[in-house]
Structure 1
Amino acid sequence: MAVTWNDVSEGMSIPELKKNCSTQQLVLWAAGSGDFYQIHYDKDFAVGTGLSGIIVHGALKNAFLGQLVHDWIGNSGKIKKYGCSYRGMDFPNEDIICKGVVTKKYEEGGEKLVDLEVWTENPQGKKTTPGYATVSLKS
């Protein structure tokens, strides 16, 4: 369900998106993205580097956050700016909750814009992939 400019208020949360990656999904992401670093699909290798097990690709979590924003604005909105950083690890077969909140609503250059803070959370509630977005919405 797409949101419109009139639906938005500063401080409002956007609908959450829950993801849970299987190891098969990580292998498919590696193939599609070209990121074949073994910490994402080879448990023995990952443990050998000091990790507790294989971890979800940061770029995959980036894509999840992009989906979160796109799902919220729908096809009538436009993502103007977007980015995130990788600050924590997420693991396969654990929920990754994608969340967001409206930080600013304004008009600029004839566009109706909304700034968002977006992030992923692990099952313990720690933000692992903080990010931001600016979107343009229709009235």
Structure 2
Amino acid sequence: MGIESKTLLNKEIPKLVKESITQVQLVKYAGASGDYNRIHIDEEFAKNTPLKGTIAHGMLSMGFLGQYLDKIAGDVYDVKNFKVRFRSMVRPGDTITCIAEVLNGDHQEISLELKALNQYNDTVISGNAVLLVKE
């Protein structure tokens, strides 16, 4: 359904909280994406690297923000632009919360700031998006 334009301009956008990342989820994502880098799926290998353990695929975390943006847009908006910057690693056990804030806009176009935060409130991905009202 999407969040109506009036709501986006005048009210806080509800956040999206994802369940904790699991190692099984990382293996499944590797299968879906074709990215079988051992740092994502091989716990024994990853323990012996400078990272000291497996990390989530960056695109998995970006996908959470994309899912959130799709939920915000719903049937009301089209996504005109979506950009992100990876800020920090996500590990198994992390819980990701997606938040958005309206930067500016009118009843036709809305600019959003997006963030994905871990359970420590650290920004793991930051970004922005522009939504256009569907005609």
Say yes or no: TM over 0.5.
Answer: yes
2:110 equivalent in structure 1? 114
Correspondence for 2:130: 134
Tell me the distance in 2 between the aligned counterparts of 1:7 and 1:18.
Answer: 20
Q: Is the 8 A contact 1:4 1:138 kept in 2?
A: no
| TM-score normalised by length of structure 1 | 0.87
Using the TM superposition, name which of 41-50 and 57-66 deviates more.
41-50
How many aligned positions are there?
134
Match of 1:75 in 2: 75
Give distance in 2, aligned partners of 1:30 and 1:6.
40
One-letter amino acid matched to 2:109: L
Partner of 2:13: 14
RMSD over equivalenced CA pairs, Å: 1.8
Alpha-carbon spacing, 1:137–1:38, altered in 2? closer, same or farther (3 Å): same
Say if 1:23 and 1:92, in contact at 8 Å, map to a contact too. yes
Which structure features the higher share of strand residues?
1
Q: Which residue of 1 aligns with 2:55?
A: 55
Residue 46 of structure 1: aligned partner: 46
Query: How far did residue 27 of structure 1 move?
Result: 0.7
CA contact (8 A) 2:109 2:132 kept: yes
User: What's the secondary structure of 1:85's corresponding residue?
Assistant: strand
Query: Unaligned regions of 5+ residues in structure 1, if any?
Result: none
Residues 66-106 of structure 1: per-residue CA shift (max 9 Å, x gap):
11111112123111100111110111122111111111113
2:93 aligned residue: 93
1:4: Cα distance to partner? 1.9
Question: Cα offset for 1:53?
Answer: 1.5
Give the superposition deviation at 1:138. 5.0
Q: How far off is 1:129 after superposition?
A: 0.6
Tell me, in whole angstroms, the C-alpha distance in 2 between the residues paired with 1:71 and 1:95.
19
The residue type paired with residue 18 of structure 1 is V
